[in-house]
Structure 1
Amino acid sequence: MWNGVLCGLLAGAMWGMVFIVPELLAAFSPLELAVGRYVAYGVIALGLMAPRLSGLLRRLERSDCSALLRHALSGNIVYYMFVALGVKLAGVAPTSLIVGVLPISVTLMGRKDHGALPLRQLALPLLVAAAGIACINIDVFAHTQSTGGQLGRTIVGLLCATGALLCWSWYTLDNARYLKRHHHFSSAEWSALYGLATGLIALLIGAVAFAIWHQDVTGAAGAASGRDWTRFWICNSLLALGASVIGNHLWNVASRRVPVTLSGQLILFETLFALLYGFIYKQQFPRPLEIAAIVLLVAGVLWSVHAHAQEEKAVSPA
């Protein structure tokens, strides 16, 4: 189980980057960001699996294609569009902390899965995590009002973050359950197929969007407006490699080695790393309520991990 926990932590470190790229590429729309990231993901996945592509495709079953389609949309494209829009409207911290509700939503939704602990054993860790989330939301609205920010814009951003939360909650459960039932692909193979499927869907969406609406400036004028396409592809390629290729592979390993309720807790590492990267990017220290939120979230995760470890030790043969 501990190898799964470590893989979940490292996946969170990779995924935390997804909240910073929309800040770096603020001149681009959420649709452009999603298409750019996942086309790059598809190209990298194709390069990695090219020598074995024909063999992998022959092993694909109809259920695999259905799973890849729904996971590509819910766990990647639609999710990231919501995240990007949430970051643009509400900021990195509130968006990442709304998505940080995942441990609670996934735990509650997966409470009947095999290996899940009874909710009474997770009640206190979940309450600690919920207290951390409450701290950051109080801080967000207090800061928005004190700086004269647009409350309506913040609310829409938080609604987008909630949409991302719902997408990822469903994807996390469905992906974990599917991987536990199907073992004809390794974690690396499934991640590569997942990337290829996402890249193809993103390419199709991008082609349709380009055909319907295309208005852009290039060269020096484009760079001056912030729409620097060289920077766009560099950032999205690095994000695709780190968060999508490496991060998703680590998460697939973790999903197979830990109970669903614990995998929900491990997602919180994404939130913590997103906050860390955000503070570094803005070159500022967290405010008191943000510090309290981080401490409470870490405590909740560690408490949950300990509860699962104790349960595993109790049920394992002597």
Structure 2
Amino acid sequence: MIIVCGEALFDVFSDAVSERDGADQDAIALTARIGGSPFNLAVGLARLGAAPMFFGGLSTDIFGRRLAATLAREGVDIAAAPRPVAATALVMVDVDAAGVPTYTLYGDATAERAVTVADLGRVPSDAAAIHVGSYCMAVEPVASALRALVTRQHGRSLIAFDPNVRLTIQPRRDAWTDAVAWMLPKTDLLKISDEDIAHLYTGMAPAAFIDMALQAGVALVVVTRGGAGVLAATAQLPVLELPATSTVVIDTVGAGDTFQAALLCWLSRHGLLARPALAALDRDTLRAALAFAGRAAAITCARRGADLPRLEEVPAT
């Protein structure tokens, strides 16, 4: 079982019709869609044939009920998810002409933040992997709860981490860099984007970040670079570079979540979801894993929003 920890929320988009000439200039039509990086990841894992569990605060409000129902319908186990009496977070998504989104959060006492150390008893200790990341690692009290979970599971479960930096949600850069610094020695699989590196470490090249992460103790470091492809390395393998899978990009919402879901699923199916296996990866095996993840992410990029693919949709080669 892979346990995904973090936020589930609603992404809110402006309807283009409301922005056209002649439309009511005093109103904006909005469309709300289920989302949140960990939520997307959990759904992606289920669609790709894994057995995920979601550990994150799910409100009892109308939005939280829809999130819980969707997770269950997709095949994600929500037995561990706390159900706090707090509102669901709403995030405004503004997608630019290139399909790249920016995010603005509305609300700061919302359900995803309300997870505490007292909730950790819900989480099975025999999980194959624990995935943490996104802004729940940079806001309290949930960040402290997830750190406690990582400490408990370190050495028991594979620890996967994707910072998924959102400075519009947590504007304190030091909150993010502190989270990354704390996580690196405890992380087995790190997936990070080149944009995240640029946000956190001004002027640092991806290769330099990879060196830093490996020296801190990460077993496998993967840096996604959008259309420029992906870099990956272990302590035993020098940096491997793969080009991006060719596709017509509609938008990139959910692409990173898809990549991580597909990578975790591929590793699980091949019996490699453990730190010793990651450390011992050979070049061809790593290339195959990254290529599968890239093909899955390309499918999401060719769709509107975070519509992650199912296993049968992803070409085997």
Q: Which one has the largest radius of gyration?
A: 1
> What TM-score comes out, normalization by structure 1 length?
0.23
Higher strand share: 2
Higher helix share: 1
> What TM-score comes out, normalization by structure 2 length?
0.23
